[in-house]
Chain A
Amino acid sequence: MTPERWREIERLYHAALERAAAERPAFLSEACGRDEELRREVESLLAYHAQRTTS
């Protein structure tokens, strides 16, 4: 992982968290464009965030 790539993931992670859960898929689709890996990375981190906060 490069610091630049990580900064991008971090930015999208926080931006997604500011949105309602239902709006996140559309937001990430738009923000990540064709970069599927970026989208998967952010979604997986969001899933771990959700796992922690819903228990």
Chain B
Amino acid sequence: MTSGPSPHITELLLAWNKGDDQALDRLMPLVQDELHRLAHRYIAGERPGHPLQTTALVNEAYLRLIDSSRVRWQDRAHFFAVSAQLMRRILVDVARARHKIKRGGGAIQVALDEAAVIAHEPSADLVALDEALKTLAAFDERKSKVVELRFFGGLSVEETAEVLKVSPVTVMRDWGLAKAWLLRELERK
């Protein structure tokens, strides 16, 4: 349990972004613990008709763990990138466990419009979204990554470009096509 931004965790983030890979190995479990705690707190207080805002949880973890006055926007983007990946895994694990218990009745609905993934669909089944992203990754890894970063991490176009080392124009093109593909894939299910 943490109270307020941690100098230690902020140091790890800065060290990792300067090229220290061991710092990332120490950072990941700490971020994972916090995201896990936030996700379970959300699940416990879940209300029907209020789809989960995935990026709100990641943002809360950031505010709790990182002293934002000490990091550059690039450091922040990389924190969110790691968090997006962890968040996706945590939530999908929770959703799958619940599918088993409730035989599909307790699907976790995620808000798809917060990052404007799919404007027409207010929410989608998290497990279906995860499956669709895996299918997409099999023939286009980068687009799946773009969606993961933007949807589960709430990264902006610029931040996504920084993390993936491509141009913002490429991110926008990937994002547009990935959204069209995902919307179609989710409707087919």
Which residues of chain B are within 8 angstroms of A5 by Cβ–Cβ distance? 139
The total of Cβ contacts below 8 Å across the A-B interface reads 38
Do the beta carbons of A48 and B184 come within 8 Å of each other?
Answer: yes
Which residues of chain A are within 8 angstroms of B38 by Cβ–Cβ distance? none
Give the size of the chain B interface in residues (CB under 8 angstroms): 14
Give the size of the chain A interface in residues (CB under 8 angstroms): 16
Distance (whole angstroms) from the CB of B163 to the closest CB of chain A: 21
Residue picked from B120, B138, B179, B180, most chain A C-beta under 10 Å? B180
CB proximity to A under 8 Å, residues B142-189: 173, 176-177, 179-181, 183-184
Which residues of chain B are within 8 angstroms of A49 by Cβ–Cβ distance? 176-177, 179-180
Which residues of chain B are within 8 angstroms of A48 by Cβ–Cβ distance? 179-181, 183-184
Q: Is B15 an interface residue (CB 8 A)?
A: no
Distance (whole angstroms) from the CB of A16 to the closest CB of chain B: 11
Do the beta carbons of A45 and B139 come within 8 Å of each other?
Answer: no
Q: Is B9 an interface residue (CB 8 A)?
A: no
Q: What are the 3 tightest A-B residue pairs by CB atom distance, in nearest-first order?
A: A48-B180, A49-B180, A6-B139
Which B positions have Cβ atoms within 8 angstroms of A? 118-120, 138-140, 173, 176-177, 179-181, 183-184
